[in-house]
Amino acid sequence: MQKRLIALSLLLGLLLHPLELLAATQNLVALEQAARRFVEQELRFRPATFTLGRLDPRLALPACEQPQVSWSAGAVPSGNSSLDLSCPAAGWSLRLPVTIAEKRMGVVAARPLKAGELLTPDDVRLAEMTSPALSRNVLNRLDQAIGQSMRSSVPAGAWLRSFMLQQPDVIRTNQRVKVLAQGDGFVATAEGTARGNAAVGESVRVRMASGREVSGVAQVDGSVLVSY
């Protein structure tokens, strides 16, 4: 009977030992999933895709309840980069390569646009530029186009380039405008007649009621600032 008990104890020891080792070993699949979630969160506001490296399946790491994931020291989250996977409590640290491919996006006309049109959000959209040769002078954000005026006509789907757009005129020839004269210690207002068109920040001449002409800078509200 005693011999049987000893044999049974040895058998249980052989069966349980691998299970204990398994329970104490870090799940590498879970570690890779944690790395993937980290990169997805980091790139959530960027038009980018990424490819993670793989951990060597032969690795046997002590199990970690809360493994940490971060960019490797000095790594740039673009192109060929790397992550540090670590567990200070268990005393291990790994480096996992990651390749990030940034999509180049450009602004295109969502419909045919005519010269002089003021662009709205419905007039433009973003599209991926598959060739670097296409990217020269192409706008890459919608806010660079919305609110701007077209210099020339373009068909639907055309790339919108910086030289195709201009700020809309806030002052037009013969328009009655408010003139704000400002100098050291004084401010005065009057009205006059614009002698030309002007966008915000551009210079424009104004004929005053006295017949005198002054030169000032067009403001957002359509007034003209004359500084002395």
> Do the Cβ atoms of 68 and 87 come closer than 8 Å?
yes
Q: 3-state DSSP call for residue 134?
A: helix
Cα distance between residue 178 and residue 112, in whole Å: 36
The answer for residues whose C-beta is within 8 angstroms of residue 74's C-beta and 6 or more apart is none
pLDDT at 185 > cutoff 90:
no
Strand 224-227 to strand 176-183: parallel, antiparallel, or no bridges (unpaired)? parallel
Q: Which of 48, 52, 140 lies closest to 101, judged by CA?
A: 48
Of 2-11, 78-87, 96-105, 140-149, the least confident: 2-11
Residue 194 has a pLDDT of 95
Confidence at 133, pLDDT banded by 50, 70, 90: confident
Give the torsion sign (CA, 194, 197, 199, 201): negative
Residue 204 CA to residue 188 CA, distance in Å, equals 18
Q: Specify the higher pLDDT residue, 102 or 221.
A: 221
Cβ count near 46 (within 10 Å): 13
Question: What CA–CA distance (Å, rounded) separates 205 from 97?
Answer: 61
Fold of 169-227: SH3 type barrels. (2.30.30)
Q: What are phi and psi of 80, to 5 degrees?
A: -80, 115
Q: Tell me yes or no: is domain 105-166 CATH 3.40.50.300.
A: no
Domain borders along the chain are 21-102, 105-166, 169-227
Taking the whole predicted model, whether its pTM rises above 0.75 is answered as: no
For residue range 141-181, what is the model confidence (pLDDT) as tens digits?
999 999 999 999 999 999 999 999 998 888 999 999 999 99
